[in-house]
């Protein structure tokens, strides 16, 4: 799926620099002041909803925080999660709708209980619109993905095999495979339940239309950071957000999913100060212990050097995510990417050959430098892994603030063939959504 522009009031974007974005990036467009006024009355309600399922972020279950960690200053606007208070609420099941009533009004499209309002994001596969649920009195992000563009940009169009050919026929035509993959991904996302992964609320699809429609939970503060920026995070801020990313990625890897496009614009910030991972547009599912990939995907400035070879070879999907997390952590503390060039070939050469350099300002700790260097190890075999990142002194604050064990925040997910077939409920027509009128 394309990037989830699931931000409410001030969605931000990556810079227009060619090395920090590709066509698959989502551009998070800000809402106008009139619309902000419309949303203001519901901010308090959304804050309450966001607090229901915030991540543990900081200690093993049942283990009290150390005195040192408890006395350390935290963000004044960051709320404790229910899990930090000793309890956890399961996610609400994904809404499934068999029939949909559509009314094309003067100001927006009425889609059952949803009022589809202004466009709040745009990507290569479609747009994202703000959707107001009149029943729950909450806002959601309704993503409209172009199925035709998805297949075309993934390179899956090809001529069918000639009749009478001796070659065996594919079980599915190649042009259908990308959609089958999307439906499988939807089936998985409907069951994923983690505090640091954006939740899919509802899916609507019309087989006669190009649009595939997905309602995601709304993250009220948009991307965690705009890159480049002259106002990077402090180490304390970077640590808090990075720990969220580590837990989210560990959860995805546990469920055999590699994200492949981790970057600040795909990390969305909630009112509680916690980060959730979004945009599974180029993600891959794998079998066994790791994904062996051979195709390039993602954003150039966040791509690992092993992806930039002149000959085809396979590489570790988990290691790609770790590299992108290293670039993201560098962005957190320096406000820019570690490797930059306006020309893609020169950028690739720098990623493959240039060692990571640290600016004189701001000054960062030796532990943080060590972690970034180990994550940006150009050799994927020796690159640090997620389990070792979780134990790194900078992440754990010298062991005083350990992260939860894998078994404490990961739950097994098994998706059956029936669930894949029922991952999307078909609807009559959504053609009017594409031309939603704005005020």
143 is in an annotated binding site: yes
Please provide residue 33's backbone torsions phi and psi, each rounded to the nearest 5 degrees.
-65, -35
**Does residue 261 carry a catalytic annotation?**
yes
Query: How far apart are the C-alpha atoms of 235 and 116, rounded to whole Å?
Result: 40
Asked if the bond preceding 362 is cis, omega within 30° of 0, the reply is yes
Cβ atoms of 284 and 258 closer than 8 Å? yes
From the candidates 25, 244, 261, 271, which is the catalytic residue?
261
Cβ atoms of 176 and 398 closer than 8 Å? no
Q: What is the 3-state secondary structure (H, E, C) of the chain?
A: CCCCCCECCCCCCCCCCHHHCCCCCCEECCCCHHHHHHHHCCHHHHHHHHHCCCCCCCCCCCCCCCHHHHHCCCCCCCCCCCCCCCCCCCCCCCECCCCCCEEECCCCEEECCEEEEEEEEEECCEEEEEEEECCCCEEEEEEEEEHHHHHHHCCCCCCCCCCCCCCCCCCCCCCCHHHHHHHHHHHHHCCCCCCCECCEEEEEECCCCCEEEEEEECECCCECCCCCCCCCCCHHHHHHHHHHHHHHHHHHHHCCEECCCCCHHHEEECCCCCEEECCCCCCEECCCCCCEECCCCCCHHHCCHHHCCCCCCCEEHHHHHHHHHHHHHHHHHHCCCCCCCCCHHHHHHHHHHCCCCCCCCCCCCHHHHHHHHHHCCCCCCCCCCHHHHHCCHHHHCCCCCCCCCHHHHCCCCCCCHHHHHCCCEECCCCHHHHHCCCC
Query: How far apart are the C-alpha atoms of 189 and 201, rounded to whole Å?
Result: 9
Sign of torsion over alpha carbons 375, 274, 4, 31: negative
Cβ atoms of 365 and 326 closer than 8 Å? no
Residues annotated as part of the active site: 261
Which residue ranges are tagged as binding site for ATP?
143
């Amino acid at each position: 799926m394309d990037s989830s522009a699931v931000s409410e009031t001030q969605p931000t974007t990556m810079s227009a620099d060619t090395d920090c974005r590709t066509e698959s990036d989502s551009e998070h467009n800000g809402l106008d002041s009139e619309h902000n006024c419309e949303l203001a009355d519901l901010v308090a309600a959304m804050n309450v909803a966001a607090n229901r399922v915030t991540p543990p972020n900081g200690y093993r279950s049942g283990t009290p925080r150390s005195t040192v960690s408890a006395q350390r200053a935290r963000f004044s606007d960051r709320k404790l999660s229910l899990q930090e208070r000793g309890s956890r609420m399961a996610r609400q099941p994904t809404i499934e709708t068999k029939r949909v009533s559509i009314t094309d009004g003067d100001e927006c499209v009425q889609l059952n209980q949803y009022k589809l309002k202004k466009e709040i994001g745009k990507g290569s596969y479609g747009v994202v619109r703000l959707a107001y649920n009149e029943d729950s009195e909450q806002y959601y992000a309704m993503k409209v993905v172009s199925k035709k563009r998805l297949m075309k940009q993934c390179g899956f169009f090809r001529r069918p095999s000639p009749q009478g050919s001796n070659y065996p026929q594919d079980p599915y035509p190649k042009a259908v495979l990308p959609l089958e993959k999307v439906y499988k991904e939807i089936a998985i996302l409907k069951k994923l339940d983690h505090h640091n992964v954006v939740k899919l609320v509802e899916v609507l699809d019309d087989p006669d239309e190009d649009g595939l429609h997905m309602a995601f939970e709304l993250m009220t503060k948009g991307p965690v950071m705009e890159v480049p920026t002259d106002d990077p995070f402090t180490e304390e801020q970077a640590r808090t957000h990075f720990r969220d990313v580590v837990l989210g990625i560990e959860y995805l890897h546990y469920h055999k999913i590699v994200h492949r496009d981790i970057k600040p614009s795909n990390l969305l910030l909630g009112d509680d100060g916690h980060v959730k991972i979004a945009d599974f547009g180029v993600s891959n599912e794998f079998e066994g212990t790791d994904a062996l990939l051979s195709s390039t995907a993602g954003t150039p400035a966040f791509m690992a050097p092993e992806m930039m070879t002149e000959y085809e070879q396979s590489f570790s999907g988990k290691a790609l995510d770790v590299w992108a997390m290293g670039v993201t952590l560098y962005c957190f503390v320096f406000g820019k990417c570690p490797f930059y060039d306006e020309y893609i070939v020169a950028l690739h050469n720098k990623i493959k050959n240039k060692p990571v350099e640290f600016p004189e300002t701001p000054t960062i700790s030796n532990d943080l430098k060590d972690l970034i260097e180990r994550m940006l190890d150009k050799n994927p075999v020796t690159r640090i892994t997620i389990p070792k990142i979780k134990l790194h002194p900078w992440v754990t604050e010298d062991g005083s603030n350990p992260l939860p064990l894998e078994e404490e925040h990961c739950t097994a997910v098994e998706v059956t063939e029936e669930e894949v077939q029922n991952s999307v409920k078909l609807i009559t027509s959504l053609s009017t959504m594409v031309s939603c009128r704005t005020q």
